[in-house]
Amino acid sequence: MHDSHSATSVPTMSRIPISIGPDCFPAAHLAALGLRRESYPLDWLGIPPPQSIAYVHELIATEFADFTTDLRYDAKGFVVAGRYQQTVFGHHDLIANRIGNPWTGYRPCTERLIDVYNRRVARFLIVLAERPVLLINAVPARLKLAEDYIASIGPFLAMLEGRKADAELAVVLYDNQDFEVAPPFEPLRSRDRVHLVTFVRDQEVNPYFGSNATFAACMKEILPPGLTPGLFPDEHHV
């Protein structure tokens, strides 16, 4: 279920696991496993999966300069930033300062959400600069434009190395049934600082997230041992 290769001396399971999207899938699993002990800016976004690594690359390279600038609503009523109109703030309305989205409804937020996201950005950049991290990105196994996605990983890792970040990347491929890893993803099995993980989503447990226990088993070589699967967080979780 898992293949990895790393040149770093820091054990992967000792690293801080951080979700980099492309949606709430990794953050929700980390929260249910008790590993999401701090909030980060990419936890609850909705990023087009093929462009998710490139998007995070640009954010880090620019230190999130345009992450929340020129906010507006897209055609579906989700909040987007002017520079990144394909990425939605999927669980937060930063304009009206409320938690939720057009599909689930809203509830008021007592804190200014822009300030919340700014704190998460600052925390993320500090941790990335000072601590060993495991960045987790989960995409469909039948990802469209998979070649574009794969091509974005090399420049992303080079950028992190240039910033002297001690970072590894876990790419989690998921589907609703057993699957073979598609050829474009095969080179990731031996790539330095990359872990390729496959996850079959049990929709009877949870229609979107699948089983947290199965996720923990798939990630057992790169997450701390002895994890006790728990409940997924409320979808409006801040």
pLDDT, tens only, 178-221: 999 999 999 999 999 999 999 999 999 999 999 999 999 999 99
pLDDT of the residue at 42: 98
User: Could you identify the residue written with the tokens 């809203």?
Assistant: 106
**Are 221 and 5 contacting, i.e. CB atoms less than 8 angstroms apart?**
no
For β-strands 167-175 and 133-140, DSSP reports them as: parallel
Q: Is the pLDDT of residue 124 over 60?
A: yes
**CA distance linking residue 170 with residue 35, whole number of Å:** 15
Is 181 inside any structural domain?
Answer: yes
In a domain, 35, yes or no: yes
Which amino acid is located at 58 in the chain? E
Residue 235: inside a domain: no
- Is 88 part of any domain? no
Domain count, the chain: 1
- Structure confidence at residue 56 (pLDDT): 98
Q: What's the whole-number mean pLDDT along residues 160-181?
A: 98
pLDDT score, position 238: 61
**pLDDT given at position 235:** 61
Residue 106 forms part of a structural domain: no
Look at residue 113 and tell me whether its pLDDT is greater than 80: yes
- Give yes or no for residue 7 having a pLDDT over 90: no
Structural domain contains residue 180: yes
Residue 21 lies in a domain: yes
Boundaries of domain holding 206: 2-47+112-218
Check whether 234 has a pLDDT greater than 50.
Answer: yes
pLDDT of residue 5: 41
Q: For residue 36, give the amino acid letter.
A: R
In a domain, 94, yes or no: no
CA distance 234 to 225: 25
Q: pLDDT at residue 6 above 70? A: no
Please give the model's pTM, rounded to 2 decimal places: 0.95
pLDDT of residue 8: 46
